Structure 1
Amino acid sequence: MTPVTAIFDIGRTNKKFFLFDENFREVHREYVCFPMIKDEDGFPTEDIQALGAWLKEVFHRILEAEQYDVQAINFSSYGASFVHLGADGEVLTPLYNYNKPLPEELVTEFYQRYGPEEDFTTHTGSNSAGMLNSGMQLYWLKRTKPEVFAKIRYSLHLPQFLSYVFTGIPLSEYTSIGCHTALWDYRKKDYHDWVYQEELHRILPPIVSTETSINMNYNGKRISVGVGIHDSSSALLPYIRSQEKPFVLVSTGTWSVSLNPFAEGALSPEDQKAQCINYMRIDGQPVKAARLFLGEEYKRQVQKLADHFNVDEGRHKTMKFSTEAYGELLKDFKPWFRLEMLPGEGASETSIPAGTSYSYAYHHLMMELTRLQAENIRAALGGLEVNKLFVDGGFSDNEVYLNLLTHHFRDLKVRTTDASLGSALGAAICISDKELNSKFLKDNYGLRKHQPFILAPA
């Protein structure tokens, strides 16, 4: 049987399972999607029970098939999500959606008590982002649902809960704590003072290295079980391990996150104005990051385009880049689209001129979105000089997006990697002793080069 590492890569939309061989080559994959359920306030959220059942079903099935020799398992998942466990290990609450709004008065009270906000952001690398600051979820629970909060024995970030499903051991891990949670103080390299003052440390499990694995006897087989990793930190890891020169990685999906792992020092006032935050490398060092809700915006807009033009909703997947369309649309360019998830950007109302084709409208939408993406990348870059820009995730196979982005960064080497493997392979590498070389991305990630297009003279 082929020795493999099993990885669960849990996104907000797609739940993925991979098997990688000893050279990190993918030998098996499967996907599933679950419909959202609603929390007690009627807000849509992840079905944590269905997810847990699927994890066990898939893993049992792979082991029983005896086609592969599973030696290790690890987990990559989105952050800003806590699973709260009671004294008997039972799940006490829904997995609250990080888009669920927090009461404004609660946020104001928090910064009055522990701010000012600018200083707090400098120390924690976390701007005020509601439930996206997972620490604020704990503050909210303690203040608004004290009877529930009192029952919590442990609060686990989602990647660590996935590991807990298999080990029963509650743990915390650095990348999940350090990624826009408002929990971590980068100066102290410890939880921020407010965490101790609120006594939240009592429900946060012991912290272990991201590279930790636990030897478990699973159905009579000895398997190393990782402790999980935040997906953005995971997606970054193979690049850090295989590249010698500074670069920026744009990890695209529901969120498009521009990651600069070479920035030094605390976030400056300019960084904060650009909405930059800190993620964390597995060695505890900060990563300057700029986020854009690009995938969610894109999903909504292409559905509206399909409705407007009465075409198949999957039409956008087959779009090819047209320099002619770009050149025409560039004349007297102004926003056409009302962007729902990117406040302050785009037109006040969507207005597509009569006679416009689907292709032209799609190109216009992508021109608007990639301009915002370019601003986002420049914010993450700051003053850092790099010569490579990597793109992975959902937009890495979008021809229109890539041509436009390469045009914005004509002086950089723009490279894309396999859309589906980023955070999954990072999770596998994290618990491996194997060293990576400069050819790793080409051999394992389907590395592709992109050249700037040449616009014909008018």
Structure 2
Amino acid sequence: MQAIIVVLDIGKTNVKLCALDAMTGTLLESLRRGNDVVMAEPYPQADIEGIWQWYCEGVRQLAGRYQVRFLTCTTHGATAVCLAGDRLALPVLDYESPLCEQTDADYNLVRPEYGQTLSPALGCGLNLGRQLFWLSQSRPDDFARVDTILMYPQYWGWRLSGVAASEMTSLGCHTDLWQPQQQRYSSLVERMGWSELFPPLQKAGAVLGPVLPQLARELGLPADCQVINGIHDSNASLVPYLQQVEAPFTVISTGTWTVMAGVGAPLQELKEQDDMLANVSAFGDPVPCIRFMGGREWELLREADDCDLADLQQVLDQGVFALPSFSSQGGPFRDRQGTVIGPGESLNAREQTALAALYCALVTDYCLSRLQSRGDIFVEGSFARNAVYLSVLQSLRPEQAVRASDDSTGTTQGAAQLIVGCDWAGAALAPAVELPDMPGLADYCERWLALLNEQGC
């Protein structure tokens, strides 16, 4: 039977289960489901049991067709699981819930300074430290029972192997819990007495151990199937490029979030007010980043499934402008209310979708300038298939080559490539996007920036 790696890929909007050839990294099969928030007491929560049941059924199906050699995981950030023994001490809070903000006044007294963590102050539960603090204050009896805190990828590794571990890419993802330049926990962890709750650190890609024997029998897995320590999803997207491209370069990981990682960009230029941060790569290095909720905003603005440059030209000619922000969850414009200026009602569905792509490209360009991005730009994920977004971005940054990945499994591939022995060559780098002829785009962009300045951005 063909040997495979199975990767559980949990995004904020969708969950994927991917089977990759263990020798070549080729994607063989992919299953998908939505990732809906469970609206239940005592607060909105992640559907971990629904994901688990779906995952087990998917693995069982794959195990009937392939030899499953490795199981690994990549997930979105800002999520942790609090255990008491082998059970949940508390439901897993949805990070978009504003409940965490109830204790902000007290949290800000213990929160580390930005210079220590390079983690900006964010709303809702996007700072994981804020989540944990709110849980400790709002549900003190339940939190007192917590003996282990697992980052989200490590929870799934523990559930499969029984081995509890911590890992730096998730700990270093705007959590307030980690010092990326010193590679150690922040003062918040010691101040709150949480140090003993985090298991020993293991690298992303490390072998946690064989799958639990009973689970192997239930799912039809080989007894020697190995469980691999997982990784934060944006950092997984970065792995293939770190292994084959020399700095400086930028990777734009797109999905619900648009995350720009500037490898070789200056850490000292990070600005908290712009929602800039240092993520931590799979190899432990701080990576300057900036992001906004591009996928979410595109969904809110679009009306059709597709558009082209002719639709974009209509937007430019009619002078319709979308100004940020259409999401309050992160980004340099998170405190501003989005608006459309000009005859927006005159746009048809495809033109409205072109406006959405244009808007996302303009915000991306703004963020790249803040990041001081240099070198090639690699676009991963959903926007890598958006021709209008790519064309506008290339036009705005003609001194940099914009390259769209044709691999729809960038996070999956990155997670799998960390497994020792799976050293297949990365995918060939895509050619640069052709520089299109779009009359009026330069003047439009100048006007867009002027409108931002008029609003005080």
TM-score normalized with structure 2 length: 0.86
CA distance 1:167–1:349, change in 2 (3 Å): same
Q: Which structure 2 residues correspond to residues 231-270 of structure 1 after superposition, within 5 A?
A: 231-265=233-267, 267-268=268-269
How many positions carry a matched residue from both structures?
427
* Corresponding residue number in structure 2 for 1:300: 300
* Corresponding residue number in structure 2 for 1:329: 316
CA distance 1:425–1:147, change in 2 (3 Å): same
Cα contact 2:177–2:189 (8 A) shared by 1:
yes
**Equivalent of 1:225 in 214, 224, 227:** 227
Q: Which structure 2 residues correspond to residues 259-298 of structure 1 after superposition, within 5 A?
A: 259-265=261-267, 267-268=268-269, 271-298=271-298
For 1:264 and 1:379, locate their aligned partners in 2 and report how far apart those are by CA, in whole Å: 11
Shift of residue 441 of structure 1? 2.3
For 1:105 and 1:36, locate their aligned partners in 2 and report how far apart those are by CA, in whole Å: 20
Per-residue Cα deviation, 1:91-122 (whole angstroms, up to 9, x for no partner): 2322211111245462232233345xxxx112
**Greater alpha carbon shift after TM alignment, 149-158 vs 26-35:** 26-35
Shift of residue 244 of structure 1? 2.5
CA distance 1:353–1:333, change in 2 (3 Å): closer
Per-residue Cα deviation, 1:251-288 (whole angstroms, up to 9, x for no partner): 001010000122354x44x5323221011112211011
* Corresponding residue number in structure 1 for 2:16: 16
Cα contact 2:308–2:354 (8 A) shared by 1:
no
* Corresponding residue number in structure 2 for 1:455: 438
CA distance 1:222–1:138, change in 2 (3 Å): same
Cα contact 2:320–2:344 (8 A) shared by 1:
no
Per-residue Cα deviation, 1:304-354 (whole angstroms, up to 9, x for no partner): x4xxxxxxxxxx3232222x7437625655447872445455654677445
1:423 partnered with 2:411: yes
CA distance 1:272–1:435, change in 2 (3 Å): same
Shift of residue 42 of structure 1? 5.1
**Equivalent of 1:385 in 350, 359, 374:** 374
**Equivalent of 1:178 in 172, 178, 199:** 172
Per-residue Cα deviation, 1:281-304 (whole angstroms, up to 9, x for no partner): 1221101110101111111222xx
For 1:415 and 1:148, locate their aligned partners in 2 and report how far apart those are by CA, in whole Å: 48
1:406 partnered with 2:394: yes
Cα contact 1:346–1:368 (8 A) shared by 2:
no
Cα contact 2:78–2:126 (8 A) shared by 1:
yes
Cα contact 1:395–1:419 (8 A) shared by 2:
no
Shift of residue 20 of structure 1? 1.4
Per-residue Cα deviation, 1:158-179 (whole angstroms, up to 9, x for no partner): 1111111211222111111111
* Corresponding residue number in structure 2 for 1:313: none
1:317 partnered with 2:310: no
* Corresponding residue number in structure 1 for 2:84: 86
For 2:318 and 2:306, locate their aligned partners in 1 and report how far apart those are by CA, in whole Å: 25
1:127 partnered with 2:129: no
For 2:205 and 2:171, locate their aligned partners in 1 and report how far apart those are by CA, in whole Å: 15
1:52 partnered with 2:46: no
Letter in 2 for 1:56: C
The DSSP-based 3-state class of the residue aligned with 2:271 is helix
Letter in 2 for 1:92: A
* Corresponding residue number in structure 2 for 1:96: 93
For 2:390 and 2:318, locate their aligned partners in 1 and report how far apart those are by CA, in whole Å: 21
CA distance 1:330–1:441, change in 2 (3 Å): farther
**Equivalent of 1:358 in 333, 339, 349:** 349
CA distance 1:42–1:221, change in 2 (3 Å): closer
Cα contact 1:336–1:352 (8 A) shared by 2:
no
CA distance 1:142–1:345, change in 2 (3 Å): closer
* Corresponding residue number in structure 2 for 1:210: 204
Per-residue Cα deviation, 1:216-235 (whole angstroms, up to 9, x for no partner): 15335211211111101111
For 1:416 and 1:3, locate their aligned partners in 2 and report how far apart those are by CA, in whole Å: 29
Letter in 2 for 1:77: T
Structure 1: gaps (5+ residues): 306-315
CA distance 1:202–1:399, change in 2 (3 Å): same
For 1:328 and 1:6, locate their aligned partners in 2 and report how far apart those are by CA, in whole Å: 43
- Percent of aligned pairs sharing the same letter: 23
For 1:286 and 1:293, locate their aligned partners in 2 and report how far apart those are by CA, in whole Å: 22
For 1:188 and 1:340, locate their aligned partners in 2 and report how far apart those are by CA, in whole Å: 33
CA distance 1:181–1:409, change in 2 (3 Å): same
For 1:353 and 1:72, locate their aligned partners in 2 and report how far apart those are by CA, in whole Å: 51
Cα contact 1:338–1:350 (8 A) shared by 2:
no
The DSSP-based 3-state class of the residue aligned with 2:309 is coil
CA distance 1:418–1:345, change in 2 (3 Å): farther
For the aligned residue pairs, the C-alpha RMSD in angstroms reads 2.5
Shift of residue 198 of structure 1? 0.9
* Corresponding residue number in structure 2 for 1:37: 38
CA distance 1:352–1:202, change in 2 (3 Å): farther
TM-score normalized with structure 1 length: 0.86
Shift of residue 457 of structure 1? 8.4
Cα contact 2:300–2:326 (8 A) shared by 1:
no
The DSSP-based 3-state class of the residue aligned with 2:420 is coil
* Corresponding residue number in structure 1 for 2:107: 110
* Corresponding residue number in structure 1 for 2:448: none
The DSSP-based 3-state class of the residue aligned with 1:9 is strand
